[in-house]
Structure 1
Amino acid sequence: MAPHDPILGVTEAFHADPNPNKVNLGVGVYTNDEGKVPVLECVRRVEQTMFETQAPKNYLPIDGLKTYDRAVQEVLFGLESTALKEGRVVTAQAIGGTGGLKIGADLLRRVNPAAEVWISDPSWENHRAIFEYAGYKVNTYPYYDPATHGLKFDAMIECLEGLPGGSMVLLHACCHNPTGVDLKADQWERVIQVVKNRGLVPFLDLAYQGFADGLDADAAAVRRFSDACATVFVSSSFSKSLSLYGERVGAFSVVTEDAAEVGKVLSQVKRVIRTNYSSPPTHGGQAVATVL
């Protein structure tokens, strides 16, 4: 028997518990005062229109809806993004943020199987599992200090400065999971410089855009990395920001050094997707693209 998932397993135990006063502190889902997951009014209206028009349920392209992918890019990188203007960004619709991470892990395995992978200590537990399943030994860099409830920032920088070039460093763009402790703006700048100087590959996980300081502020790290570094991986999700948990609307994006690389990178991304699930579902992507 495989072990229970450390996060979703809590929800399974919650549903099995007959105690009327039970509280689920496992999976991160936003609920209202009645304990219900709300449907946002903008989503409700869009879905009503979708129901009335009854578009055919055809397969999507491997990389998803083009309108969705473009909307993701604009929300992540901003309309004034140099990388977007220069055509250096690849984005593919993914099955949630987890799907985006999986695409990134499998892509890394294809292009650099010898890379070292580093995640924060602690991190969302599935980060480790995803990269281990892709064939990597997962290492941790210092992050949270339980004694101060703050960051071990100096130790983090010292660790990153010692990593070999080409190592992948997974970073929480905002709302660090599970600690809730984020880097300050000046600390992000220091991390970006180290990553750039050492030739590391940053992988930004942005699952909570809008939940910390707003859509633009929460994407600041993604945008700064895209300006500073040759290659940037990003996994993003609308599960939280649009309360679409069950629709599995995420994305995987890559910022490339040169626009000439986009076609090559996209071909590899599509190959990864094709061998995992062929193409993403339609409904959630259409809803998000229309809302945005």
Structure 2
Amino acid sequence: MIAENVRPAASAPARLFGALERQPADALLGLIGLFRQDPRATKIDLGVGVYRDDAGETPVMQAIKAAEHRLAETQPTKAYLGAEGDARFVDLLAPIVFGAALAGDPGLTGVQTPGGTGALRLAAELVARGAGDPKVWIGTPTWPNHAPIFREAGVTVRPHPFFDAASGTVDFAAMASALAEAAPGDVVLLHGCCHNPTGAELDAAQWSALTALVVERGLIPLIDLAYQGLGRGLEDDASATRSMLAAAPEAIVAYSCDKNFGLYRDRVGALWVKADGGSLAAVRDNILVLARSLWSMPPDHGAATVREILEDATLTSSWRRELEEMRSRIAGLRAALADADARLAPLAHQGGMFAMLPLPRDAIFALRASHGIYMAESGRINIAGLRGETVASFVAAIAPYLQR
């Protein structure tokens, strides 16, 4: 007999994680693992998106080493930063990104973020709070993490054409036609320079036409500027961003220092938003509230290192010189590839570390098996993974498979 004050046992509740489904493995991380396991001395890693020198290393810049030494000797505290991060870092970086005049625009507000990815995620959350139901338009192909970042924030993603694989150039007519369907208040995600994964870039006339379209239709440009200085130089790589921000009443810029300062593992970035004076304070309030919930306060070390460099003319000069050496090496490899095979000629007119090779998917696996050449299944290569001495053998290996 059951006592009156004892309830029958309820059915067992569903376990918290019982509804979770397995997720596909990250293809790039898997490629890294396969490369490491390959014992061949002649193997070539063109997958992971980090700069490498001609010795195949990802070096620490001398300017970074000097700045870190100063920090180790003089940094007075490891206390928390605020949610906005290192404000001095943001202030010093702004003229490099926007130029002296635009950096002082009273309608521009910025915060430090954990890398460019953190800047994009913060931007996505801010967009999700925007008026109406804004959608974000993203060119195809793009960096694989772009769309997931916005979808995880609850923002609808709309693809638009960008790359013409046959010519290795931007299909601007198709891009403009698609964006003509975007609604006022929608966001257009743009690569400021050095497109990842294709290397293809809008020319000056196309940027001008795109800027006019954005302003006319009331769209919000969100510029991902992750490789400034590695394409055509610091100034040229920022020119499109500056022109767009000068014209658009509202805009967003997600910036990464991971590549142009070589601070990959330190995750250094910034987010800037341009808005009119009536909404700017609310924009900043929301940025800080969102940042507080996402990561509380950004890490200090990388941003402090950049700040040390930009506060010192000698270190700034050293950084600029080293960055130009990196840029020149990448440009030289592009030229060498283009000269080696006419079907690779478009690479000479592209910019940055990446390119999409006109290779069928089965060829990519064959090259991996036969030659130890590792690249993404899309045909994207990190050009900086090549060395001067490996260009000829690489082109000889891919030549039988090139489709262009």
Equivalent residue number for residue 297 of structure 2: 279
Equivalent residue number for residue 55 of structure 1: 76
The structure-2 alpha-carbon separation of the partners of 1:113 and 1:26, relative to structure 1 and needing over 3 Å to count, comes to farther
Equivalent residue number for residue 282 of structure 2: 264
Deviations 1:81-134 (A, max 9, x none): 1xx434111111011111110000011111246111111111011001111111
C-alpha contact (below 8 Å) 2:115/2:267 kept by paired residues: yes
C-alpha contact (below 8 Å) 1:69/1:93 kept by paired residues: yes
The structure-2 alpha-carbon separation of the partners of 1:286 and 1:28, relative to structure 1 and needing over 3 Å to count, comes to same
Equivalent residue number for residue 77 of structure 1: 98
Structure 2 Cα separation of the partners of residues 209 and 6 of structure 1: 26
Matching residue within 250, 261, 267 for 1:242 = 261
Deviations 1:124-158 (A, max 9, x none): 11001111111133221111011111121111111
Residue 18 of structure 1 deviates from its aligned partner by 4.1
Structure 1 Cα separation of the partners of residues 272 and 239 of structure 2: 15
Matching of residues 8-157 of structure 1 within 5 Å: 8-81=29-102, 84-112=103-131, 114-157=133-176
SS in 2 for 1:120: strand
Counterpart AA for 1:91: G
Structure 1 Cα separation of the partners of residues 34 and 152 of structure 2: 25
SS in 2 for 1:80: helix
Counterpart AA for 1:23: I
Structure 2 Cα separation of the partners of residues 13 and 198 of structure 1: 47
SS in 2 for 1:254: strand
Residue 28 of structure 1 deviates from its aligned partner by 1.0
Structure 2 Cα separation of the partners of residues 125 and 210 of structure 1: 22
Residue 247 of structure 1 deviates from its aligned partner by 0.8
Residue 78 of structure 1 deviates from its aligned partner by 0.8
SS in 1 for 2:279: helix
Equivalent residue number for residue 4 of structure 1: 25
**Share of identical aligned residues, percent?**
38
SS in 2 for 1:178: coil
With normalisation by structure 2, the TM-score equals 0.69
Structure 2 Cα separation of the partners of residues 130 and 12 of structure 1: 24
Residue 80 of structure 1 deviates from its aligned partner by 1.6
Equivalent residue number for residue 160 of structure 1: 179
Residue 272 of structure 1 deviates from its aligned partner by 1.0
Counterpart AA for 1:262: L
Matching residue within 187, 201, 209 for 1:182 = 201
SS in 1 for 2:294: coil
Q: Structure 1: 5+ residue runs without aligned partners? A: none
Counterpart AA for 2:259: K
The more displaced of 67-76 and 107-116 is 107-116
Deviations 1:13-72 (A, max 9, x none): 333444444332222101112221111111111111111114211111101111111122
Counterpart AA for 2:299: P
SS in 1 for 2:145: helix
Q: Larger % of helix: which?
A: 2
Structure 2 Cα separation of the partners of residues 96 and 207 of structure 1: 9
Structure 2 Cα separation of the partners of residues 30 and 85 of structure 1: 32
Is the counterpart of residue 203 in structure 1 residue 236 in structure 2? no
C-alpha contact (below 8 Å) 2:134/2:156 kept by paired residues: no
C-alpha contact (below 8 Å) 2:187/2:219 kept by paired residues: yes
SS in 1 for 2:190: strand
With normalisation by structure 1, the TM-score equals 0.95
